[in-house]
Amino acid sequence: MVNVLGVVLFALLIGVSIALHEFGHLLTAKAFGMKVTRYFIGFGPKIWSFRKGETEYGLKAIPAGGFCEITGMTALEEVHPDDAPRAFYRQKTWKRVVVLSAGSITHFIVGFVVLYAMAATMGLPNLKNEPVIAAVSDCVQSGPATAACTSGAPAPAKAAGIQPGDQIVAVAGQATPTWTELLKKTQERGGSTEFTVLRDGTEMKVTMDVPRVTREVTKADGTKESREVGAIGVQWQNNFDYNVLTAFGGATAFTGDMFVNTWHGLLKFPEKIPAVIKAIGGGERDLESPVSVVGASRLGGDAAEQGLWQFFLLMLAGLNFFVGVFNLLPLLPLDGGHIAVNLYERVRDWLRRLRGKPAGGPVNYMRLLPLTYFFIFIGGGITLLTVTADIVNPIRLP
């Protein structure tokens, strides 16, 4: 039951994000004096609506997006003479660009608000796997790391003055940009070893006598075995805690990381499609393959069922960043495609003025229709593939 509620909640929050996206267009268009005739969530048959002023607001039967209808989006549209001064295409270029980008900006704001709420209440995960120390052990010995210390057991990190919040950035002169690298390089060591520690922005070098102890380690194939490894007695900071004031800085930095990850994900997106097709045919589903709203909602249900609310919210924020960035790609019919056309007209007219020529006419969108239909076809095909994969072979949380 909790799983179902989680699915519904996540789908509902996606719907809210879509509504806010369109509201961003609506708000900016009205602020600039443009005429907005309709604001609807969904497509297809109308379920319910009401009119306030010159704008009709409502819901439609198919919850697969929404739209904000602004008078005179292109010069090809017939506009009543009384509305001509308020037509979209008659406005200054910067105003048009602001209105077109407002939907994506709204997604970015929603994503940031979600991250801020996470930071202030439950903290933010160590997404980059940074080798930050959460705690220093009182000893290092064979067996479970949580076992009680025996008399005389060494405590290398404690003896070297390592403190929570320190970041160990190198072992024996070899960089350790991640906790995984730090763990690997430490386990390979034994005896006197130099560690480079970053504390409050300042690097310092400490030497520790690394003991060899017997620990259970996980091999590459996922199996476990007991092995003699080097250890210094530190625990990983897998979550960063903030208060309501410091949460702003934490959420800002985390937002930057998510933008980078989103861009890398977009660049790798095309090469992930074959994995989706393979999954539909019964192959193992790649955990990094694209998911649709259906798949994301199912993962949201799994997260709710297991009490993984941090993962639930992180996925919601990530989805908003992804949609926001994707929507700005210079491809029609995305908002980014319309922005590109408007900027092209601006640059073209500037160049024409330099040559003593009058401004050119508006871009003929009819000539761009074949390209637009091509991208719609590709986008529809990818959506169909991901939805199918998410139904017949979904990604699930263990």
> How close are the terminal C-alpha atoms of the chain, in Å?
17
Q: Where are the alpha helices (DSSP H) in 237-396?
A: 246-280, 293-305, 309-327, 335-354, 365-392
Place of tokens 């994000």: 17
C-alpha–C-alpha distance, residues 71 and 81, integer Å: 12
Residue 342, classified by CB atoms within 10 Å of its CB into exposed (0-12), middle (13-18) or buried (19+), is buried
Active-site residue flag, 22? yes
User: Which amino acid type is present at position 202?
Assistant: T
- CA R_g for the chain: 27
Other Cβ atoms less than 10 A from the Cβ of 313: the count is: 19
CB 59 within 8 A of CB 48: yes
* DSSP code at position 250: H
Cα–Cα nearest to 138, from 151, 125, 126 = 151
Helix 93-121 and helix 2-31: axis angle, to 10°? 150
* Residue-by-residue DSSP string for 266-311: HHHHHHHHHHHHHHHTTPPPPTTS---HHHHHHHHHHHHHTT-HHH
Strand-by-strand arrangement of the 167-171 sheet: 174-175, 167-171, 191-199, 202-210
Show the tokens assigned to 319: 């989805």
375: left (phi > 0), else alpha (psi -120 to 50), else beta?
alpha
Which one of 22, 130, 181, 345 is the catalytic residue? 22
Show the tokens assigned to 188: 């390979």
C-alpha–C-alpha distance, residues 141 and 147, integer Å: 9
Q: Which residues are annotated as catalytic?
A: 22
